[in-house]
Amino acid sequence: MKLRLHFVVDPMGWLCISMVFGIWLYNTFFIPKLVLLPHYNEGHIPWAIVVCYYIASGLCLAALFRASTADPGRLPVDPKIPHSEREHWELCNKCNLMRPKRSHHCSRCGHCVRKMDHHCPWINNCVGEDNHWLFLQLCFYTQVLSLFTLVLDFCQYYYFQPLTGLDQEKFTTHHELALMRVSTLMGLMMFGGMSSLFYTQMAGILSDTTTIEKMAQFSNEVYGSKKSWQWALTEVCGTRWKLLWLIPLRNRQPIQASHHFRTHV
């Protein structure tokens, strides 16, 4: 498997993605140090919980890395346009290149992107046809990790702390309470933001409408075709294997709808 890296030069984007990475790093370091490992050593929680937390954290980082470095669907300078599809292509008046309809020119990236959804500064990349599935994975795994973190923070406050036998003075002098509060605040922000983003992204995918089309309000012109949720996600993820929808370290292969699959899933 060869993963080609795509890198957007944008200092504001670098700042935003550094903040996201910082939140991930903070929780991946402090939650095991303050909650998981001490309580595992004291026998309060099984090893499986610790492993699950690291797996969720690893998948979250992998999805962030892939979503931010994958090609979103940049068009070649001299595309080969099949004669039968010429009517579905148009000229971009910003970069003077031919592009399929539903492509959009991103001023941040400086090029056109196939079926562009939006430019996301938090991953410092466009979200387009080729990395939309990775962006969805990032929203999903961030929800899982932040919810996991919130549950552990809650248990630390109300359930684990009396078990450890630490005296309150020692607890506060080690700044653990402050660190846990920051973690809880980050968890609430990430879970709330990512849940609403995931919901709007899924609604857009199921109605076959990108965020840009929704904002421009021309989605009723051509799009909005009715599809089953399986087929809509199969097209976005590039595979019919549902387990692969959750794996960030793979390449996406665009697939064409067969009549049988479209009408029977």
Is 120 one of the catalytic residues?
Answer: yes
Based on CB atoms, which residue is closest to Zn ion, 98 or 150?
Answer: 98
Euclidean distance between CA atoms 227 and 123, whole angstroms: 29
- Residue 154 CB, shortest distance to Zn ion, in Å, is 38
Question: At closest approach, how far in Å is the CB of 225 from Zn ion?
Answer: 25
Is the CB of 72 or the CB of 248 nearer to Zn ion? Answer: 72
Q: Which residues have CB under 8 Å from 174's CB, separation 6+? A: none
Collapsing DSSP to helix, strand or coil, 80 comes out as: coil
Q: Which is catalytic among the residues 60, 106, 120, 139?
A: 120
Residue 9 C-beta: closest distance to Zn ion, Å? 11
Comparison of 1 and 77: residue with beta carbon closer to Zn ion: 77
Q: Give the integer Cα–Cα distance in Å for 54 and 163.
A: 24
Contact call for residues 102 and 47 (beta carbons, < 8 A):
no
| Cα atoms in the Cβ-side hemisphere of radius 13 Å centred on 22 | 9
Identity of the residue, 73 or 238, whose beta carbon is nearer to Zn ion in the bound complex: 73
Of 123, 134, 129, 124, give the one whose Cα is nearest residue 248. 134
Q: What is the token pair recorded at 258? A: 């067969």
Instruction: Compute the least distance from the CB of residue 11 to Zn ion, in Å.
Output: 14
Four-point Cα dihedral 102, 103, 105, 106, nearest 10: 100
State the nearest-atom distance from the C-beta of 31 to Zn ion, in Å.
33
Single-letter amino acid, residue 90 = E
Residue 73 and residue 113 in contact, taking contact as beta carbons nearer than 8 Å: yes
Q: Which residues bind Zn ion (CB under 5 A)?
A: 92, 94-95, 105-106, 108-109, 112, 119, 126
User: Which residues 6+ apart lie within 8 Å of 12 measured at CB?
Assistant: 121
Active-site amino acid positions? 120
